Amino acid sequence: MFRKKLTKLVGIKKEQFEHFIETGQIKAQTAKLIPTLKTGDEMALTSIFLSTLRLVDEFRQGVFKDLKLSRSGKLFYLTEVVFPDISNSRIDGMVVNITSGKVKEVAFFEMKSKTNGIDVGQVETYIKIAKSLGVRTMVTVSNEFVSNPNHSPLTIRVPKSISLYHLSWTYILTRGQLLLFKNEHNIKDEDQIEIMREVLSYFDSPISGVVGFHSMKVGWKETLEAIKANKKLRLSDPMVEEAVVSWHQEEKDMALLLSRKLGVLVKSTNRTDNSLKEDIKKLAQNFVLNGNLSVKDSVSDIRIRLDFEKRTCAMSVKVTPPLNKGTVARNSWIIRQLENSKTKSETSFNKIQKDLWLEADVKFARENLILNLNDLDSLNDLTKGKEVQAFHITFLTDLGASFGSVKKFVQLMDKNVLNYYEGVVQNMTNWNKPAPKLERDLSFDN
């Protein structure tokens, strides 16, 4: 019998796909939730992850949305995939979508665990295989952080026909944990809830190979030391790029940390392809870096500013006071909010109170009026005759030597963002302009 040769995947009939599996032109294993592999092995993680996509509807819906994959059709989840006639390289995972009797969509997965980073050479090989077979989606998964799934920890040229995505294991863990909170996205099926719990328990175990972000790169410390020594930073310095990449990763780490605590997905800065270059320039010229955390329904985004010269970190939210009242009433309003924060979240508030500052955004003024929370009694005198348009509540910390510590910096940032959110942000509300009232025309009553 004539043996049909595998030349493409996307677009072939279901029977052809099954034929290629049977004849060994596609060698693969079916993903299993409990694989007979060594605990912590990358292939064990791959198998468990793909099986969870198969078994938990809401988890699959969320991850597929991130990867812009179709969420309908008959899906096959395979591991240890090899196309012998094309390459001897083994692809960790593959998802095949068959719709109306044809292969509609295929995604390749390259997985890493522990401290193993994504290998450029491997991904380039897999992309070549993908291109030859008409596969349009390549996904990498590791403990490396990126600001969103569209970004990659690799500097690599990707054909226009292929989309390259990246997921961190912490992001995957967070995605799963959010589904267990009581919200509009939670898992409906009780059996699937138990599967998700068991999988997350495994992912959360130190032996699984899943680790969070615990350390900035060496370039972070080297950059700070260069600034302290008054050395000029060049845009081409590898240490400067390492410092910026580390900050982007830590910013995402804080967003995921808040997500797991709050039960909603917190977004970090939406970075473009030029963000790395722009931040390298900002750090090299001005010795500062910025960040942003967006929490749904909170008073405002949390804006973050790192000052490498002063070795400080400022976290700030904007609060809009009652604009239909005078400045004195607006001042009283923000003071009451701060007093309520202390009452509602006393422990966290007290931890950061000495480092809290109130900034009054005065109309037509060149700079905001800034005073420490201990000096709020003087707010009315300082704003007399002026119009306050908004307030900013800033948590300003002097990190000192810890700023340059690759591990201590991460620990302090994670602790500070939780204390700031609990102590201040979650208790703040904006004034909303009331709806216009209808003036009754008595002539209508006649």
103-149 pLDDT, tens digit per residue, is 999 999 999 999 899 999 999 999 999 999 999 999 999 999 988 89
DSSP per-residue codes, 367-412 = S-EEEEGGGGGGHHHHTTT--EEEEEEEEEEE-GGGGG-TTHHHHH
Res 165: pLDDT: 97
- Distance from C-alpha of 100 to C-alpha of 422, rounded to nearest angstrom: 51
Binning pLDDT at 50, 70 and 90, where does residue 156 land? very high
- Distance from C-alpha of 23 to C-alpha of 20, rounded to nearest angstrom: 5
pLDDT in tens, 331-351: 999 999 999 999 999 999 999
> Is residue 364 pLDDT above 80, yes or no?
yes
Lowest mean pLDDT among 164-173, 230-239, 429-438: 429-438
Q: Which helix (H) or strand (E) holds 327?
A: helix 327-344
Q: Domain locations in the chain?
A: 14-208, 218-427
pLDDT in tens, 34-75: 998 777 788 999 999 999 999 999 999 999 999 999 988 999
Q: Percent of the chain scored above 90 by pLDDT? A: 87
Three-state secondary-structure class, residue 91: strand
pTM score, whole prediction? 0.90
Res 82: pLDDT: 98
Q: Where are the beta strands (DSSP E) in 308-380?
A: 312-319, 356-362, 369-372
Two structure tokens written together for 267 = 């977004």
Q: How far is CA 367 from CA 23, 77, 340, in A?
A: 73, 58, 28
Dihedral of CA atoms 192, 193, 199, 201 in degrees, nearest 10, equals -160
> Is residue 2 pLDDT above 60, yes or no?
no
Closest CA to 210 of 142, 287, 130, 303: 142
- pLDDT mean over 372-386: 95
> Is residue 393 pLDDT above 80, yes or no?
yes
Res 405: pLDDT: 97
Handedness of CA 184, 189, 191, 195 (dihedral sign): negative
* Comparison of pLDDT for 124 and 440, the residue scoring more: 124
Res 435: pLDDT: 86
pLDDT in tens, 175-204: 999 999 876 668 999 999 999 999 999 998
The total of other beta-carbon atoms located within 10 Å of residue 331's CB is 20
Handedness of CA 343, 346, 351, 352 (dihedral sign): negative
Binning pLDDT at 50, 70 and 90, where does residue 1 land? very low
Closest CA to 429 of 314, 313, 297: 297
Res 38: pLDDT: 74
pLDDT in tens, 11-36: 999 999 999 999 999 999 999 999 98
Q: Percent of the chain scored above 70 by pLDDT? A: 97
- Distance from C-alpha of 412 to C-alpha of 170, rounded to nearest angstrom: 19
Residue-averaged pLDDT of the chain: 94
The total of other beta-carbon atoms located within 10 Å of residue 392's CB is 18
- pLDDT mean over 87-112: 97
